[in-house]
């Protein structure tokens, strides 16, 4: 029995010593670290605004523990970047004597803030994280672009104001345009709205972009999702609030404007007695949680414009005078279940127990596509509650409409389409596998039924499409915002 106990004591001691030896640090220069990435890249950042945190893994794939003598930034305390090593932060951006057990790993977290620059053009910054181990120095590179930005936080314009494209504008909370004032956006202006931020116009909005330098209104997240496709956040709905055009006598004009990723795009609000005017030309309104354009008793003229992928409707018209020409209205919203057609037209509004009548003086659609992934993409909602003959005047000509045929003189030369006979219309109707297939593309295919079917006399009013292509290059213009190329 005594011999057995002596055997177990020797065995246990040997095992413990062997375990200690196994956990000894390797000093072999050939035993190096491995990393989940060789370079950490930050998308364009607004200077003075802290980036979102990114991370990567450091692996010790060896059979013994490794002591990292130092983890540091090459630029030291002067770097724009900041390190967090397993929760440890150092103001000098250097940490010493970090252990990684055999076959183990640890996280490195990185963020940065780029100081305001003398030049308003984007500036490229770089650094590297250096790992000093067993006489070796390994590194992970860090890169980013910084852009000076003008910040508006609850900014109020009390007089006529013009913004140019010298710097982007970052909007927190709301941007207000007071009664009687006009906000003019010059070509190339970029407005980035923070979460829930809105543009509230109680006066007038004039946006004068060009084909080469469109005005862009979008969210402030310029980075990408951590998904398999690295999908840009700018593709997502609900990144910001809405553009409220709420003066009953406002006069608004948007030309070559890209509006993406909000809760609502444009909300035009008139009264029962006054109609504000809104002109939208050569523009792109895309990926909204609710509406692309919603008009309440407005005088609207929308032409050469794509309105697409909205969670309720791309275009919602309530009363007023409306003209829609050579537009592509396409709804393949994928972020929720959509229960409303892409286009809805009505002459009344119910708010609680109240019924408000907004007579529909006109809604004229010409050379326009109304399409999407629902069976019916046009809803005609006429007041039957008040039992009065309130105006409801609509007219469609040379349009491609997804839905059941309507036999009426109000519809002239219409191509009525279903999923069965119009499966091939647009180049790309999905965000799925965006890295492989690309993003949504609502330009038409060569065999699309919209080819060569537009009214040429109407097309002559807009002889080039939204991207500047000649509609008459092949002799016969196409329906929609895009001529086949």
Q: 108 in helix, strand or coil?
A: strand
**pLDDT, average across residues 222-230:** 75
Query: pLDDT-derived band of residue 111, with 50, 70 and 90 as boundaries?
Result: very high
pLDDT band at 8 (very low <50, low <70, confident <90, very high): very low
Residue 296 confidence (pLDDT) above 50: yes
Q: Rounded to the nearest 5°, which phi and psi values hold at 22?
A: -65, -30
Angular region, 91: left φ>0, alpha ψ -120 to 50, beta rest: alpha
Helix or strand or coil: residue 9? helix
Mean pLDDT of 96-111: 94
4 by Cβ neighbours in 10 Å (0-12 / 13-18 / 19+) ranks as exposed
Distances, alpha carbon 162 to alpha carbons 157, 185, 274, in Å? 10, 6, 27
Instruction: Name 180's bridge partners.
Output: none
pLDDT for position 90: 84
DSSP string covering 259-316, please?
A: EESBS-SEEEE--SS---EEEEES-EEEEESSEEEEEES-EEEEES-EEEEESSEEEE
* Cβ-contact 230, 224 below 8 angstroms: yes
Domain positions in the chain are 34-146, 149-459
Helix (H) or strand (E) holding 7: helix 2-22
Say what the pLDDT of residue 173 is: 96
Distance from C-alpha of 346 to C-alpha of 390, rounded to nearest angstrom:
11
Looking at the predicted structure, is the pLDDT value of residue 335 above 60? yes
Cα 430 to Cα 434: distance, rounded to the nearest angstrom: 8
Quickly list DSSP for 217-270.
EEES--SB-SSTT--BGGGSS-SB--EEE--TT-EEEEESEEEESBS-SEEEE-
- Cα–Cα distances in Å, from 202 out to 68, 117, 319, 478? 61, 35, 20, 38
Domain 34-146 bears CATH identifier 2.60.40.10: yes
- Report residue 11's pLDDT band, with 50, 70 and 90 as the boundaries: very low
Residue 17 has pLDDT above 60, yes or no: no
Instruction: Answer whether 296's CB lies under 8 Å from 275's CB.
Output: no
Give residue 403's pLDDT.
Answer: 95
User: With contact defined as beta carbons under 8 Å apart, do 172 and 150 qualify?
Assistant: no
pLDDT in tens, 129-152: 999 999 999 999 999 999 999 999
Instruction: Tell whether the model's pLDDT for residue 331 goes beyond 80.
Output: yes
pLDDT at 14 over 80: no
407-430 average pLDDT score: 86
pLDDT tier at 92, thresholds 50, 70, 90 = confident
Q: Assess contact for 298 and 275: CB atoms under 8 A.
A: yes
**Could you give the CA distance from residue 316 to residue 448 in angstroms, rounded to a whole number?**
26
| pLDDT score recorded for residue 222 | 85
pLDDT (tens digit, 9 = 90+) per residue, 192-207? 999 999 999 999 999 9
The predicted pLDDT at position 430 comes to 83
For 354-385, write each residue's pLDDT tens digit.
Answer: 999 999 999 999 999 999 999 999 999 999 99
Strand partners, 82: 111
**Band of the pLDDT at 228, cuts 50, 70, 90?**
low
Segment 164-170 mean pLDDT: 96
- Mean local confidence (pLDDT), 345-351: 95
When pLDDT is averaged across residues 238-254 and rounded to a whole number, the result is: 97
Please give the pLDDT value at position 6: 43
The shares of helix, strand and coil residues in the chain, as percent rounded to the nearest 5, are 5, 45, 45
Predicted confidence at residue 106, as pLDDT, reads 94
Q: Name the average pLDDT for the chain.
A: 91
Quick one: average pLDDT of 390-396?
97
468: tokens are 């500047």
Determine how β-strand 320-325 pairs with β-strand 190-193.
unpaired
Return all residues near 120 (Cβ < 8 A) that are at least 6 apart: 148, 166, 167
Q: Cα–Cα distance between 76 and 84 in angstroms, integer? A: 14
pLDDT band at residue 422 under the 50/70/90 scheme? low
Angle, alpha carbons 59-63-65 (nearest 5°)? 65
Per-residue pLDDT at 23: 54
Secondary structure of residue 378 in the 3-state scheme: strand
């Amino acid at each position: 029995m005594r011999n057995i106990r002596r055997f177990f004591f020797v065995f246990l001691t040997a095992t413990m010593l062997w375990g200690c030896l196994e956990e000894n640090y390797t000093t072999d220069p050939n035993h190096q670290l491995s990393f989940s990435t060789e370079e950490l890249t930050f998308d364009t950042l607004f200077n003075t605004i802290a980036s979102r945190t990114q991370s990567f893994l450091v692996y010790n794939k060896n059979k013994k523990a490794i002591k990292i003598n130092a983890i540091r930034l090459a630029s030291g305390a002067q770097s724009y970047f900041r390190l967090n090593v397993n929760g440890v932060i150092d103001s000098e951006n250097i940490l010493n004597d970090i252990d990684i057990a055999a076959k183990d790993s640890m996280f490195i977290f990185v963020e940065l803030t780029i100081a305001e620059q003398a030049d308003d053009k984007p500036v490229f910054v770089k650094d590297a994280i250096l790992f000093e181990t067993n006489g070796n120095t390994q590194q992970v590179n860090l890169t980013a672009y910084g852009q000076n930005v003008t910040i508006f936080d609850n900014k109020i314009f009390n007089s006529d104001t013009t913004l140019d494209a010298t710097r982007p504008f970052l909007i927190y909370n709301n941007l207000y345009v007071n009664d009687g004032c006009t906000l003019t956006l010059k070509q190339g202006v970029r407005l980035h709205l923070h979460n829930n931020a809105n543009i509230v116009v109680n006066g007038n909005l004039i946006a004068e972009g060009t084909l080469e330098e469109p005005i862009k209104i979008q969210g402030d997240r310029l980075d990408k999702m951590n998904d398999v496709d690295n999908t840009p956040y700018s593709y997502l709905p609900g990144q910001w609030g809405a553009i409220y055009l709420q003066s009953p006598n406002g006069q608004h004009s948007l030309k070559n404007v890209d509006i993406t990723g909000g809760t609502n795009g444009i909300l035009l609000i008139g009264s029962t007695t006054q109609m504000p005017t809104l002109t939208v030309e050569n523009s792109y309104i895309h990926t909204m949680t609710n509406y692309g354009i919603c008009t309440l008793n407005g005088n609207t003229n929308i032409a050469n414009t794509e309105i697409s992928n909205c969670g309720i409707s791309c275009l919602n018209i309530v009363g007023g005078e409306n003209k829609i020409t050579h537009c592509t209205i396409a709804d393949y919203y994928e972020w929720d279940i959509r229960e409303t057609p892409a286009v809805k037209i009505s002459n009344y509004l119910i708010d609680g127990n109240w019924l408000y009548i907004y007579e529909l003086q006109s809604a004229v659609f010409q050379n326009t596509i109304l399409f999407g992934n629902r069976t019916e993409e046009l809803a005609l909602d006429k007041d039957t509650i008040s039992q009065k003959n309130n105006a409801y005047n609509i007219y469609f000509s040379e349009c491609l409409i997804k839905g059941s045929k309507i036999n009426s003189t109000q519809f002239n030369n219409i191509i009525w389409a279903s999923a069965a006979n119009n499966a091939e219309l647009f180049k790309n109707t999905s965000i799925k596998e965006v890295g492989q297939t690309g993003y949504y593309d609502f330009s038409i295919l060569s065999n699309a039924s919209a080819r060569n079917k537009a009214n040429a006399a109407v097309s002559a009013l807009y002889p080039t499409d939204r991207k500047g292509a000649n509609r008459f290059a092949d002799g016969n213009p196409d329906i929609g915002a895009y001529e086949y190329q």
